Amino acid sequence: MKIARLKPHKHKNLYGGYQWVFTTELAEPPQAAAGDIVTVISDAGREIGIGFYNPKSRIAVRIIGTCDDVVDTGFFVNRFRQALALRTRFVGSSQAYRLVFGESDMLSGLIIDIFSNVAVVQTFSYGMDIRLTEISNALRTVLPHLTAIVERNTMQVRIKEGLPLREGVLWGAVSGPVEFTENGIRLFANVLDGQKTGYFLDQKVNRHWVQQYSRGLSVLDTFCNVGGFALNAGLGGAVQVLGIDSSASAIESARLHAAANGLTTVNFEVGNVFDVLKDQALSGRTWDMVILDPPSFAKTRSALAGARSGYATLNRAALKLIPPNGYLVTSSCTQLVTEHDLLDIVYAEAARLNKSLRLIHRGNQAPDHPILLAMPETQYLKFLVFSVY
């Protein structure tokens, strides 16, 4: 048994369900290689759990189970079945959902999204990465309808773990984009070379909110990617919808989605969102609803000040386009920016423009991205809707 012993008083969070052991919390490096399973014990010798060790990462150990667990294909089968049981109630007959959300499913370093009959896997830890064969075999057992398993391991965080960037088909065959339905909209996930796993599933419930309340409105959807919010607004009865994104390939996909769903009021353009917002304000253009769904502005605390400034600039520019009785729909996926931070930023920018706001809705990530209370890092998405007057 390979032991990772903690320094004094470094065990309390772990007893509460926290799953990361940082290098600075270890009494000494364990006699183990990257990806090995180690037993984490307190300074007094009490066993806490087992986890994957990585001497190359600041997260030295990622706890994944109890000391009685054996990490083999059967281990992953059981965890995937538990994850599926949780999602079954919330995703219903949905053809696309997140099956595994890392720490929230006691599988730190693993993400799995399902699109119809294709699973897309991402591994963020050394221990998970060297067990892709067991993970793939377990997926085929739990989800026998799968025809392909795709690896999308192109995230820069892998470099910090000492892992190479990699992507491709692990098993089966994929001939092109995978069709699925979300909120009554026909969509195609580009699982081989789209962003992240091929489609952003975390905003599903929030997109549906827009669909429910956009009838009769003109809607500007910024950072629209492949059209999620814009398409929902169009299906919901918006009279005019424009989606903006800097990615030409994403806009091409968005246009295909609009055509596939017969949404003639929905259009898309390639552009820099900050420039488009500025130009539209100068031209006097207004929109009944402006949606802001930018990418993460900060991955580290050192970048947090810049992120807050970016959100301030973005929300101020959007507010300039919204007339009285219009709606600001603003979102942040920056984990380090809290909902309180975002509320403060939006309030301050509205005050600068002599506008008043009423908060009418708040949301977060979809239920298939559950938040583990012991791990604040699992909560990252903030979604706020304001009435402007």
Q: How crowded is the C-beta side of 387, counted as CA atoms within 13 Å? A: 7
Q: Which residues 6+ apart lie within 8 Å of 361 measured at CB? A: 209, 383, 384, 385
Q: Can you name the residues that pair with 332 across neighbouring β-strands?
A: 382
Are 169 and 148 contacting, i.e. CB atoms less than 8 angstroms apart? yes
Are 288 and 217 contacting, i.e. CB atoms less than 8 angstroms apart? yes
- The residues that are catalytic are 333
Angle at 216 between CA 215 and CA 222, to 5 degrees: 75
What are the contacts of 311-315 at 24+ separation with CB within 8 A? 311/337, 311/342, 311/345, 312/345, 312/348, 312/349, 313/274, 314/273, 314/274, 314/277, 315/345, 315/346, 315/349
Backbone angles phi, psi at 228, to 5 degrees: -45, -65
DSSP 372: P
Name the residue among 143, 141, 147, 140 with its Cα closest to residue 178: 147
DSSP 248: H
Q: Cα dist. 358→152, 237, 320, 383 in Å?
A: 41, 24, 16, 14
Q: Cα dist. 218→115, 235, 319 in Å?
A: 31, 13, 15
Q: Cα dist. 188→82, 95, 119 in Å?
A: 28, 11, 14
Other CB atoms within 10 A of residue 148 CB: 19
- What burial letters (b/e) apply to 87-104, b meaning 16+ CB within 10 Å? beeebeebbbbbbbbbbb
